[in-house]
Amino acid sequence: MWLLIDRSSVESYEESLGLLNDVLSDHGESCAVLYVAVPAVDDAEPTLDTLDVLYNFLLPIALRQPTLRVIPVFEYLYKDKVASIAPDENVLCGELTPQSGGFQRMMQPCGQIPSLRRVQIPSVVAPISTSRIILPSKISSSNAWSRDKDSLRFKNVAVGGTFDRFHAGHRLLLGATAMVTTQKVFIGITSDKLLQNKKAKELLQSYEERCDAAVRFIQTVNPTLELVSAGTLTDPSIPPLCATEENFDAIVVSEETIGGAHEINRVRAELGFHPLIIIVVGLLSAAAGEDSKLSSSALRVQEEQRQQK
């Protein structure tokens, strides 16, 4: 399914999110993949506001169908270069707006089109603001970063996680990483050995499966990247690659892993390297009205319970 977003007329995010909920209700069970065109505010390069747009569109998916294959398509990536997005999928790739040249050359069906639904989105700030930047003091004493003006674009970016039962939270974290990177992404992925104490560990996907899902997702979201590589995180006491190699510029984390990013910057300081800019994305809830976050462990426990019935 191709979800075409038009910012021309709707005045509230609530209305556009309601339309997205309708899409999930009507087609969610039969939908193999959902492509969501995510516009940058005012057609500029991505900012913190763009990250908030991504968060708000993944929120209802996290609540209703957390493991749905959602591919965010960032408009700014296709202004100068039109890339092929998953050519093996049965989707319709269309232009974003009548005035935009970004998707015009992609206005052709790939195979049998399952469905097409237009969802309108206004060019206003999202109602839930979760993303933020943590700037090292040597870069900015005021720690200030404009949400709607300062572009988030960095050459080499790091990110890490387990990425089991690839869900909306992973798509937010890695989608943000793909969005802000111009050249190379390195993904640190937790080894199988470190996951032995996890709940329902028998249902854990292998390192190879988790690694493949993470790398392929970033490559799909941002096909302009020079390199997307991954490495194993085997020991919490051993600094990851982005701590011991100088040529990283930023790291993308969730609210619960900020401490790890600060530790990485501490190691980099000891080595005489410049600190990483820390990009923080919000946590997606597992259910409406609950404080619990969406997690792979909870999804495995739910699957285990279903199997026992």
Q: Is the model more confident about 187 or about 45?
A: 187
Place 264 in a pLDDT band, splitting at 50, 70 and 90. Answer: very high
**pLDDT value at residue 69:** 82
Q: Is the model more confident about 47 or about 191?
A: 191
Q: Which residues face 227 on adjacent strands?
A: 184
> Do β-strands 92-93 and 108-109 pair in parallel, antiparallel, or remain unpaired?
antiparallel
3-state secondary structure of 190: strand
Q: Is the model more confident about 50 or about 88?
A: 50
Which tens digits make up the pLDDT trace of 130-168?
Answer: 788 888 765 544 445 666 567 789 999 999 999 999 999
> Residue 305 above 90 pLDDT?
no
Start-to-end CA span in the chain (Å): 32
Which tens digits make up the pLDDT trace of 60-79?
Answer: 778 778 888 888 877 677 55
* CA atoms of 209 and 165, how far apart (whole Å): 10
* CA atoms of 170 and 164, how far apart (whole Å): 9
Long-range contacts, 144-151 (Cβ 8 Å, 24+): 145/48, 146/47, 147/47, 147/48, 147/49, 147/52, 148/41, 148/42, 148/47, 148/48, 148/49, 149/47, 150/47, 150/48, 151/44, 151/45, 151/46, 151/47
What's the mean pLDDT in 280-284?
91
List the alpha helices (DSSP H) in 28-99.
Answer: 48-64
DSSP 120-137: E--SS--SS---EEE--T
> Residue 261 above 60 pLDDT?
yes
**pLDDT value at residue 112:** 35
3-state secondary structure of 282: coil
* CA atoms of 28 and 89, how far apart (whole Å): 16
Place 185 in a pLDDT band, splitting at 50, 70 and 90. Answer: very high
**Mean pLDDT of the chain, nearest integer:** 74
What share of the chain has pLDDT > 90, as a percent? 35
